[in-house]
Structure 1
Amino acid sequence: MNVKMTSVLVANRGEIARRIVRSCRDMGIRTVAVYSDADVDSPHAREADSAVRLPGTSPTDTYLRGDLLVAAARRAGADAVHPGYGFLSENADFARQVEDAGLVFVGPTSATIELMGDKLRSKALMSEVGVPVLRGVDLTALTAEEVADRAAEIGFPLLVKASAGGGGRGMRIVRELSELADAVGSAEREALSAFGDETVFLERYLVNPRHIEVQVFADEHGNVVSLFERECSIQRRHQKIVEESPSTAVDDVLRERLGNAAVTAARAAEYRGAGTVEFVLADDGSFYFLEMNTRLQVEHAVTEAVTGLDLVGLQLRVAQGEVLPPEALNPSMTGHAIEVRVYAEDPINGFLPTSGTVEHFKVPERQGLRVDSAIEAGFAISTHYDPMLAKFISHAPVRDEAAALLAVALRETQLDGVTTNIGLLASLLEDEDFLAGDTTTSFLDDHRELVSNSSFVADGILARRALAAALIAQVQARDSAIVQQTIPSGWRNNPSSRGPHASSQTRVYAIGERETRVDYAVNPPTAKVSIDGSHEIDGLGELRILALTAGTADLESDGLRVLYEFVRSGNRIFVHDRFGSTAFDEVERFPAPDARASRGSLVAPMPGSVQRVLVEVGSTVMLGDPLLILEAMKMEHTVSSPVSGVVAEVLVSDGHQVEAGAVLIQMHEEQIS
């Protein structure tokens, strides 16, 4: 039955909400956004034709309230609801609420979502129709002893998984029996927080498999098609960070087998719309059903790039009762596409989520490059929601070109104000093993140097950026001066004893605990400089200044010319060139007394909620031992001891809300034998 949609409520936020709005607008369909109090300034709330406020900030008070979303659709006159991904996109109760309200749910039926959302029932169905599955055990109503027995029957390593959700939440690898109880408890808590259902199960864990998924599409007229595979093997915390199509591990024969299995799964579920059937692929070519995502995937843009199809547009057409068009019923692949997810997180600090305000955001324009983002300058990164900020997608005739295009684009991207994984992603795309196609789910574990070196900057490059910062800062200081603007900033009528030359200037910048001193004396068009008292770093003794403004510096030294761009936020300075960027903290000449926590203090790495305190006063701990569990951005994070010693004071308790930098535990540092 055909239904003409005139207005769609987008029951989501961020980049996927913006993406849905684009396709709706292309089809002449009006859109209604929803936004929490934390998202009042979010771009998605402005870009829709109208928007409805959801009072509150936490997901449970806003984007996870099906009743509020349906009420918002009715209030705005929408006749359909698109759930996007995440939040309630795979919640059968929400789909049923939408259906009961007489609205069109852009996705499968509530019955299908309920069936495939229960990973235990869906695996049983797949086994019945001949799709290979991994052995699993439901833990519902089992005693601790029975859980241990079932785990022994499956064998280690195994996986604890949430039955009701995905995205890596509620998932733990267990390598031996002693880890089982804690893993089950942690997975249950995280599943309850993320999906409202604490049900978990055990499943055989394949070591170093590939994660392959197949995009399927079905209409109400009996058509079910495979739109080929995506490889999503490179992950952290069981969450994908790199996706590509086609997979380097899949040939035409295997592609047909995977596609047939995925279509069989969709038919068995009486599927409608866009869905993804996920498999693990062993090195012997065998594959096993993991789950079916009854929604659009984050990585749908990869499939759009290689097929030329608008998957959101197809969702809307199928939801209106239309037949899939010929180009979808007879799809073809062209070229290679790669997507990376840019997260607000710190890779070298255990991928902990980060927060802050986006001071500046600029991406390069390249043919074959697409950027879907949730942010713009001035946008505050909230700890209430998933930390993904943007997706970068490249498309080129061959894989190496797609990887090179994406790596260059990432290094040229200017995203200031929050720590991200951009450096890691660029390095990963340039890695020899990645370029050879050797990607498994253990890729980052096997390439820890990529993570540890993700923020590394060679001394020569760092020195040049610090110099550019100093020169541009001087121009800014001069431009803001009220009097005597023609005199160089910081000019003295007596030679400076600190610098290497008469009338030299000095600026000191810090990167974490490391400080860099820049001494310079400008005599246009040249300048004499030293970094930390040395003139020998990459020929920086003398340089030519080709252009210098309050925002850019075009400098040449030792025959190398580089253009630098500069963004300031208070005492923090961001310097960009074509190879990356560095954030410097300008060290004040006369700083206020320092109130930092002393060594041995355990401070909150991010705002969040204390889930469990694992120690008490008097506990003896070693460097790196877990002290408490903090929940932020819908994930649990273990906070470890910064020193070996004895717990002197515990300043928080379970359920305590803390801000970033708050002191949680005080330690007496001691030598532990």
Structure 2
Amino acid sequence: MKKVLIANRGEIAVRIAHTCAEAGIASVAIFADPDAEALHVRVADEAYSLEGEEVADTYLNVEKILDIARRSGADALHPGYGFLAERADVAQAVIDAGLIWIGPEPQTIELLGDKVAARKIAEKVGAPLVKGSDGNVPDSRKAREVAEELGLPIAIKAAYGGGGRGMRVVHRLQDVEEAFESAVRESEAAFGRGECYLEQFLEKPRHVEAQVIADKHGNVFVLGTRDCSLQRRNQKLVEEAPAPFLTAEQNDLIVNSARDICREAGYVGVGTVEYLLGASGTISFLEVNTRIQVEHTVTEEVTGLDMVLAQLQIAAGERVPLDGDVQPTGHAFQFRINAEDVGRGFLPATGTIDVFDPPTGPGIRIDTGVHTDSVISGRYDSMLAKVIISGISRKHAIRRARRALKELRIRGITTVLPFHRAILEEEAFVSDEGLGVYTTWIEQEFSDRIKDDPDFRQAVPSQERVRMMIEIDGKNAKLGVPAAFMRALVAGGDGGALDALDGSVSGQEPGDQAELRSPMAGTVLKVVASEGQDLEEGDPVVVLEAMKTETPIHAHRAGTLEELAVSTGDKVTLDDVLARIVTE
């Protein structure tokens, strides 16, 4: 292996390029037009344009990517996570092109990528498992029937999904059909397949996983556990290793069954076996992720292993340099720094990063794909960076994390930093007695605090900015200002132009009170309500998609839907009018 094409973007592409450099292997980056100045393009040895903007035409275009591999002389391809990482057909196409695929065998991806088939393997080896549907469910009507049989709450899951996408947890029978259809849509958008199945959902579950590493020589080892319970919309925000407050019996059950599942599946490479741990102590197998995970960093910090390097070695046919399972040392956390507005229910945020000033000091690691002046659009995942903190104990790592997140400065775009700083003061998270958070803890127990605490109500950055060069003490400096503010200056301070700043200058509430405005930039996936319909406050009107996440937009007041301003497929920006709801 001499040259690796990195079929990804963002922090994972940077991460892979770094390891390639340290291993003496050349790296090749690919980039869509909006990523021409991205960090992963800078750090790779070579970079090739995918000549396009949309994901389907760039990072998901296998033909373009393989052509770049041929032109660059790459002899291997690393898919990272997301995009093409868990597609068996892509793995086979890479192998057929004469390249080394850095990941599990295509047949293993196909087998374990089907969550229903993975459940059968787990059942065969005696892994803990809750009841579920007998295979995929064909439609929403059948989903309701299955939910009645299994009992509530139930989880609707994408059979070929991962990362929390295509998953819905339902507590009321009348919500099953809409939730099923939403899961299917999101799965089709994220993974190209919409098959979904149902299984019982454990109340207040923790999310615990085991990191597995296996080579082509029959060695299968477990590198300890992680806890990923702190989530919003079934997607992780904070991860830690090892998983705290497990009994010896629970730990052994997770570790041993993870090893058995991967051995039975003939797994080769780095992968993760995920479980739910219910409040009652019940453990249930969830799925196998056939790729490196976002949270691999915390396992690296407590084991001292470079897991990307291990992937390269395994793909090259080498043995895993271990004699057995690894016992973690110390404790590590990972905080995902997402471009999301906590005060608005973690809605995706877009804009330009004016300042990115990371913390420094012992035990602090920053994995990122952005820098000052990076433009964050709604095309990709919302994660900007990962702050990884390690310490000699969980308590020590928490203290270190408080300092690091206090030092981290990001300006120009709204992020989840206020949440991370707050969670490090929450007894449910930092207690020495046990972990009080669970996968829906934010929605069930923390959301009221978000509504009431002014610290979570960040100013929303302008979606449209103008950059100019100015001179300060004889030196040139770049200044970014809201475009509306610049228009106001050009107009001689005209008040009408200043109104475009959402009242931040004039102090007035802009717009018609009947207007339902978009709280985010995105694409209209579905129009739920119809003109002339009577609505109650909170009724769904449209569903938007941004950063691979569906967000229902609800009526801001009761009334009659007089006018719909958008249709399915329309692009909207922050504060665009979606509809008009009038009262008598």
Q: TM-score, normalised by structure 2?
A: 0.90
Matched with 1:448 is 447
- The aligned counterpart of 2:528 is 614
Q: Give the direction of change, closer, same or farther, for the CA distance of 1:105–1:400 in structure 2 (3 Å limit).
A: same
Of 270, 273, 277, 1:277 maps to 273
Matched ranges for 1:36-435 at <5 A:
36-137=32-133, 140=136, 142=138, 144-326=140-322, 329-435=324-430
Deviations, residues 145-174 of structure 1 (Å, cap 9, x unaligned): 433322211111101100111111111111
Select between 656-665 and 99-108 the one with higher mean Cα deviation.
656-665
Aligned counterparts of 2:279 and 2:523: Cα–Cα separation in 1: 41
2:542 is aligned with 1:628: yes
Q: What per-residue deviation string (whole Å, max 9, x for no partner) do you get for residues 95-153 of structure 1?
A: 11111111111111000000000000111111112112222215657465433322211
Q: Secondary structure at the match of 2:267?
A: coil
Q: 1:624 to 1:148 in 2, by over 3 A?
A: closer
Whether contact under 8 Å (2:125, 2:257) holds in the other structure is no
Deviation digits for residues 427-455 of structure 1 (CA, Å, limit 9, x no counterpart): 10121121113222232122224533665
Change in Cα spacing, 1:283 to 1:643, as seen in structure 2 (3 Å) is closer
Kindly indicate whether the alpha-carbon contact (under 8 Å) linking 1:139 and 1:199 is maintained by their aligned counterparts in 2.
Answer: no
When residues 83 and 243 of structure 1 are mapped into structure 2, their CA distance, relative to the original with a 3 A threshold, is: same
Which residues of structure 2 form unaligned runs of 5+? 460-469, 484-488, 501-509
- Which amino acid letter does the alignment assign opposite residue 446 of structure 1? E
Instruction: Decide whether the 8 Å contact of 1:427 with 1:454 is kept in 2.
Output: no
Q: Judging changes above 3 Å, is the alpha-carbon distance between structure 1 residues 266 and 653 closer, same or farther for their aligned structure 2 residues?
A: same
Matched with 2:495 is: 592
Secondary structure of 1:456's match?
helix
Q: Which residue of 1 aligns with 2:466?
A: none
- Of residues 554, 565, 572, the one that matches 1:651 is 565
Question: Is 1:439 the equivalent of 2:454?
Answer: no
Q: CA 1:144/1:651 → structure 2, altered by over 3 Å: closer, same or farther? A: closer
For the pair 1:18 / 2:22, whether they are aligned, the reply is no
2:553 aligns to what SS in structure 1? strand
1:394 & 1:329 partners in 2: Cα distance?
26
The secondary structure found in structure 1 opposite 2:337 is strand
> SS where residue 262 of structure 2 aligns?
helix
Give how far 1:36 is off: 0.7
Are the equivalent residues in 2 in contact too, given 1:372–1:391 (CA < 8 A)?
yes
- The higher-RCO structure (CA 8 Å, 6+ apart) is 2
Per-residue deviation, 1:73: 1.1
Task: Tell me how far apart the structure 1 counterparts of residues 140 and 160 of structure 2 sit (CA, whole Å).
Answer: 21
The answer as to whether partners of 1:230 and 1:247 remain within 8 angstroms in 2 is: yes
Q: Deviations over 1:9-33 (max 9, x none)?
A: 1111000000000111100000001
What letter matches 2:530 in structure 1? E
Distance 1:455 1:14, change over 3 A: farther
- The one-letter amino acid paired with 2:481 is G
The equivalent of 1:503 in structure 2 is none
Partner of 2:574: 660
Deviation at 1:568, TM superposition (A): 6.5
Per the TM alignment, residue 481 of structure 1 is displaced from its structure 2 partner at its CA by 9.8
- Listed one character per residue, the Cα deviations across residues 588-620 of structure 1 (whole Å, up to 9, x for unaligned) are 994521354322212222222212222233222
The number of residue pairs the alignment matches comes to: 552
AA paired with 1:14?
Answer: G
What letter corresponds to residue 399 of structure 2 in structure 1? A
Deviations 1:545-603 (A, max 9, x none): xxxxx99xxxxxxxxxxxxxxx974269xxxxxxxxxxxxx9x9945213543222122
Pairwise CA distance, 1:316: 0.6
Counterparts in 2 of 1:571 and 1:611: CA distance versus 1, 3 Å:
closer
Q: Is the CA contact 1:169–1:190 (under 8 Å) kept in the aligned structure 2?
A: yes
Amino acid at match of 1:322: E
C-alpha distance in 1 between matches for 2:367 and 2:142: 47
Q: Contact 1:275 / 1:295 at 8 angstroms: preserved in 2?
A: yes
Tell me the distance in 1 between the aligned counterparts of 2:393 and 2:146.
46
Match for 2:332: what amino acid?
A
Q: How does 1:462-541 map to 2 (within 5 A)?
A: none
Contact 2:223 2:326 in 1 (8 A): yes
Secondary structure at the aligned position of 1:260 is classed as helix
Moved more, 642-651 or 209-218: 642-651
Percent same amino acid among aligned pairs? 41
In the alignment, the residues of structure 1 paired with residue 81 and residue 454 of structure 2 have an alpha-carbon distance, to the nearest angstrom, of 31
Q: How far is the alpha carbon of 1:309 from its aligned partner?
A: 0.7
Tell me, in whole angstroms, the C-alpha distance in 2 between the residues paired with 1:144 and 1:440: 28
Secondary structure in structure 1 of the residue aligned to 2:208: strand
Q: Which moved more, 1:29-38 or 1:605-614?
A: 605-614
Radius of gyration: which is bigger?
1
CA contact (8 A) 1:278 1:289 kept: yes
Q: Note the C-alpha offset of 1:286.
A: 3.0
In the other structure, the counterpart of 2:503 is none
Determine if contact 2:11/2:368 at 8 Å carries over to the other structure.
yes
Deviations 1:357-381 (A, max 9, x none): 1111001211001110121011100
Once residues 188 and 482 of structure 2 are traced to their aligned partners in structure 1, the CA distance between those partners, rounded to angstroms, is 41
Give the letter aligned to residue 91 of structure 2. A
Shifted more, 155-164 versus 243-252: the winner is 243-252
Asked whether the 8 Å contact 1:138–1:200 carries over to 2, the reply is: no
Conserved? CA contact 2:116–2:136, under 8 Å: no
Please give the alpha-carbon distance, in whole angstroms, between the structure 1 residues aligned to 2:546 and 2:526: 13
Are the counterparts in 1 of residues 141 and 177 from structure 2 also a CA contact under 8 Å?
no
Q: For residue 486 of structure 2, what is the aligned residue in structure 1?
A: none
Aligned-partner Cα distance in 2 for 1:644–1:589: 40
- Structure 1 position 602 matched with structure 2 position 516: yes
What does the per-residue CA deviation read over 1:520-547, in whole Å, with 9 as the maximum and x for residues that have no partner?
xxxxxxxxxxxxxxxxxxxxxxxxxxxx
Whether the 8 Å CA contact 1:597–1:663 is kept in 2: the answer is: no
**1-structure distance, mates of 2:312, 2:139:** 46
Task: Give me the CA root mean square deviation.
Answer: 2.5
Offset of 1:189 from its aligned partner?
A: 0.6
CA contact (8 A) 1:408 1:426 kept: no
5+ residue gaps, structure 1: 463-476, 483-549, 552-566, 573-585
Structure 1 CA distance for aligned equivalents of residues 453 and 360 of structure 2: 24
The 2-side partners of 1:314 and 1:238 are apart by: 29
Once residues 329 and 350 of structure 1 are traced to their aligned partners in structure 2, the CA distance between those partners, rounded to angstroms, is 44
Residue pair 1:404, 1:430 contacting (<8 A) in 2 also? no
